[in-house]
Structure formats: structure tokens, C-alpha cells
Amino acid sequence: MQNLTERLEKRGWKKEEIQNAVNSIKSAKQNKSRGMMFLEKRMYWLLLIIIAVSNFAVSMAIIPILMALAEMALYFAIIVLGLSFGFLFELVIRGIEHLEKRHHAFLAVFIPITAFLIVYFMAELSNKLMLILGLKNFHASAIIAFAYAASFAVPYIVYRFVMRKEYYAIG
């Protein structure tokens, strides 16, 4: 609540108004049903699973792109995909109200690592498929994975750490 109090003080709220707001929030938290508390606790882990599965689906979809495109066109496509899906997940993360700083710190590490590993293995698979098919459009898997992971993480990192937006989390 200290974080909320400081933000409201910066915005010019009076002490009495801040106390009323904090008391209202505390009361709302205490009056949540068991079902709602259960869902809130599981939402974060569900989000992590969805991010990993979605990255896997995107990486499966980029196999044809990896096989067809080369050099700059490939990196442009990979970066656009990464930014697009990264922005989508940033919006989802922003909408989860109960996330705390530790959750955000974990997400800042989890998102790029997961994206990197999944895309790296798909790029390796793409190279093996091209070898089997006799194609010669091989790519450096680590560079492709890094380009995707970095672009996937950029929207989250920019919003949370560069713009220093506090989302809607309290506490």
C-alpha cells in the first residue's frame, strides 16, 4: 500500500482522501470470495503457461518463414512477430491487477528466456528440415532466437522499466 500512497501523494491527493482509498482497497481485498482468491492466485501461473505455449505455437508457425526467407527479410519478419506478440502479452500482463514487483521481475526474466529457447529449437528444426529437403537457406539459430526473444520482451520491458509504469498493482 506504501507504493499506492506515494503515488497518490505525488498526484496531490490529501491525506484523508488517500486513507479512504487505502481503506476501501483493503476492505475489498478482505471481502473477496474464496473462488476469486483462488482464481487470482492461479492466474499468474496460467499466464506463464499461456506465454510458453503461445511462443511454441508462434515458433512452429515461423518454420516456413525460416525456410523461405533469408537475411534482412527474415529478421524483419521475426522482429515484427516478436513485437506483435510481445505487445499482446504486455497488455494481458498489465490487466492482471494483483501482480507484485517480484512477479514482474520473474516475468522480465522468464519471457525472454522461454522465447529464446523455444525459437532456438524451432530454428534448429528448420535447419534440419532444409538439410533433408536439400535446401540451402540455413540460419544461425541463436541469432534468430535472440532477435525474436528480444523483440518479444521489448514491449514489456519498455512499459515496465523504461517508462516506469506501475501497472495497477497495489503494494
Cell of 90: 504486455
User: How much is the pLDDT for 141?
Assistant: 93
Residue 170 confidence (pLDDT) above 50: no
pLDDT at 151: 95
pLDDT digits (tens, 9 = 90+) for 67-98: 999 889 999 999 999 999 989 888 877 777 66
CB 89 within 8 A of CB 54: yes
CA distance 26 to 22: 6
Average pLDDT over residues 30-42: 77
Between 94 and 127, residue with greater pLDDT: 127
